[in-house]
Every structure is written in structure tokens, then in C-alpha cells.
Amino acid sequence: MKFIVFTLLMLVFICSFTSEAAYYRRSRCPSSKTGTCAIKCLRDTSCPGHKICCHNGCGYSCVSPTH
């Protein structure tokens, strides 16, 4: 019984991660050549909502993606 519960939980986790990863794969950073030199994010998952982490010409910041 524990094995079945564990397997179902892992399946739900993998499915939710896969759909989020697919969203980020389809997203692109808008072209930007100017920005602050601050590093405000390290990866897409560190940004709120559906924003993604993009290079802004000097540092990195969370921005709304282009598709």
C-alpha cells in the first residue's frame, strides 16, 4: 500500500514539474541591451509567477517572456 501511495505522489510531482518545464522551454527572453548590473535571479524558478530570468545586458532580472 505504501508503495502505491509513494508511486502516485511521485507521478503527480513529475507531471507538475514537466508541465512547468515545458512552459519555460517555450518562453524566450525579450531582446534587451540595457539594464542594471544587479543579479536579481539565477534561474527561471527563482522568478515570481510566469516571469523568467533573463540577461539584461549587464545583470539578470525577472521579466515577462515572449513566446
Instruction: Tell me, yes or no, whether 24 lies in a domain.
Output: no
Instruction: Tell me, yes or no, whether 23 lies in a domain.
Output: no
- Domain of residue 46: give its range: 1-17+33-63
CATH code assigned at 48: 4.10.75
d(CA 51, CA 63): 5
Instruction: Tell me, yes or no, whether 46 lies in a domain.
Output: yes
Instruction: Tell me, yes or no, whether 25 lies in a domain.
Output: no
Closest to 59 measured CA to CA, from 31, 46, 32, 40: 40
Average pLDDT, the chain: 78
Instruction: Tell me, yes or no, whether 57 lies in a domain.
Output: yes
Average pLDDT over residues 4-16: 62
| pLDDT the model gives residue 17 | 52
- How many independent structural domains does the chain possess? 1
8 versus 53: which is more confidently predicted? 53
pLDDT tens for residues 13-41?
565 554 455 555 567 898 877 778 999 99
Cβ-count burial 9-37 (b if 16+ within 10 Å, e if not): eeeeeeeeeeeeeeeeeebebeeeeebee
Instruction: Tell me, yes or no, whether 59 lies in a domain.
Output: yes
